[in-house]
Amino acid sequence: MLKNWAGMVLILAVLFSFTACQVDNTSESGDRLLAQVHNKKLYLSEMDGMFPEGMTAEDSSATIKAYVQRWLRDALLQHEAEINLPPDLNIDKLVRIYRASLITHNYEVALAEQMLDSTISQAELTDFYEMNKGQYQLETPIVRCHFIKVKLPVPEADNLRRLWNSNDPQDLDKLIDFCTKNAEVHILEDSIWYDLDDIAVELPAGTLTADNVGAKRDFSQRDANFQYYFRLFESKNRKDIAPLSYIEGQARKVILHNRKIKLLDNTKEELYEREMRRGNVKIFDMN
């Protein structure tokens, strides 16, 4: 039943003002029958939780009306499907199969949560990469770079230029601080790989492409709105083997998936052996 039944009295009054049916549609438990299609019935209690606190009577009434209309159409379609079942469709068998599958799946999830070791060492990650890196060809060029995009007029333009050209690690920290406050876009982590297209889209069209990125290793330029700085450290072309750091997230997921499959296979074998010893597994003559 609805938690706030008193508040629903007004809602029900509004709801039933639009229906022509005048029969008593209150069940023995006090629930309200909202609609019926053949032998399928929709009660008000089935809408419990659908009415946020503070909802007006008008909004609640509109919610009920809309839900009833959807329910009627779904119920009619289900009824039509039931009377047109193919004669060879074994619903009970399908339900048993689905139930067994659902129970097994939920147990596998619980088993993995309890027993699966999610720790992946760098050595394991490297071994996996070396054995499978042929599967990780790049679909687009990628780059390691520094990139800054600042709206004109550039605040402290001379200081930005000095920090950009400095090799002092402390100046890099200052540059990051400046960009955090002033830049529209800044990429100042040179160990991370980025899709070239994600950088190029921030520059004027045609400035940076797969064909010219190798030649444009370090440049600055401006247009009517922005000042740009770009410095390339390394690039990989389309169809090159992706670096480990670029596909590390994918690799970890595959390793964990394989580990989960192995855990489930081992569990099945252990259960089989245990129940065989206990005499709970019987194999009959199949000839």
Higher pLDDT, 153 or 47: 153
- In the chain, the percentage of residues whose pLDDT exceeds 70 is 90
Closest by Cα among 176, 211, 181 to 196: 211
In this prediction, residue 242 has a pLDDT band, given cuts at 50, 70 and 90, of very high
Total-model pTM: 0.71
What is the pLDDT, as a whole number, of residue 18? Answer: 40
Q: What is the pLDDT of residues 160-186, one digit of tens each?
A: 999 999 999 999 999 999 999 999 999
What is the pLDDT, as a whole number, of residue 6? Answer: 41
Strand extents, DSSP E, the chain: 33-37, 40-43, 142-151, 183-187, 194-195, 218-222, 226-236
Q: What is the pLDDT of residues 8-65, one digit of tens each?
A: 444 444 444 444 344 456 555 568 899 999 999 999 899 888 888 888 888 888 999 9
* Residue 260 φ then ψ, to 5°: -65, -45
Residue 190 has pLDDT above 60, yes or no: yes
Cα separation, 174 vs 160, in Å, equals 9
